[in-house]
Amino acid sequence: MKTFTMFTLLFIATTMVNVAQAGSVHYNVTLTFIDDTKFTGTFDYDSSNQQITNLQGTLNDVLMGNVESLNYQLGSGSDGKGGINAYVFELNTSSIATNPPVNNNAGVRINFNATNPTSGPTDSSQLAYMDCSVGALMGKTCMYYLSSYNPKVPMEGGHGVLSEVITSSGGQPVSQADCLFNWAETYYSQLFSPTGATSQTSAPYYYRYYQNTNSYVGVSSDNNHVYYLGPNGVLQDVGPSSAWFTTAGC
């Protein structure tokens, strides 16, 4: 059977800037596909230079009962119609395909007005997802929504409604450190629980404390390294924050 990819690899490969820009605004995005699969996420966007950063969220594949965290924003650029396309993936690669799948990646493409993201997509045909994670596979076929492909979805079901709602949270953009902490809570929940701990400052550390696991994670402004303090009371330097920001897609 013919292999096809979720996104054309010739999309504008802009250099990603992971630090939220000074003029950026924090947004919430909810993208619902016709099979009821839903992406719920957040991003920061600076309309003055049309840079989107820190796109991340959760993909809920309702029909298959599968939920995946997507934290790697690996591309963005103009849609040629006054809007912005941005891509986020579960794995740290944009490689994804079905029939057969090339890996167990999952990804989403959002689209929004470059001047005012809350006004919605400028090209709804750009809205797309593909879920090739283990829980979403039907043999060699991934779950997906691709408006340019026939069929648009591989499984019947859902309400047949495609919608994208973007709202401004009114808050400040997520810092790289907070982005890293959020990622750690998702992928190392056995070390950092409960999720959503409050970030605090005690010079030189910007950190979070996790009551359930009696642990701390923080970034030091002295050397820009990440530190971990577990229940044994031993402070560990786990490496440069720049390396961890890259790993976490922050």
- Single out the residue of 183, 187, 148 nearest to residue 5, CA to CA: 148
Average pLDDT over residues 182-196: 87
* 142 and 187 housed in the same domain: no
Flag whether pLDDT at 8 surpasses 60.
no
Count of structural domains, the chain:
2
Query: What is the pLDDT at residue 179?
Result: 85
* Whole-number Å distance between alpha carbons of 250 and 25: 16
Burial classification of residue 202, based on how many CB atoms lie within 10 Å of its CB (0-12 exposed, 13-18 middle, 19 or more buried): exposed
Check residues 113 and 119 and name the one with the higher pLDDT: 113
End position of a domain, from candidates 168, 192, 215: 168
Read off φ and ψ for residue 244, nearest 5 degrees.
Answer: -70, -35
* 137 and 26 housed in the same domain: yes
Per-residue pLDDT tens over the stretch 35-63: 999 999 999 999 889 999 999 999 998 88
What does pTM read for this prediction?
A: 0.65
Token reading at 17: 């800037």
Flag whether pLDDT at 201 surpasses 60.
yes
* 145 and 191 housed in the same domain: no
* 16 and 132 housed in the same domain: yes
Per-residue pLDDT tens over the stretch 203-238: 889 999 999 999 999 999 889 999 999 999 999 999
With beta carbons less than 8 A apart as the criterion, state whether 114 and 97 touch.
no
End position of a domain, from candidates 148, 168, 188: 168
Domain that residue 207 falls in: 176-248
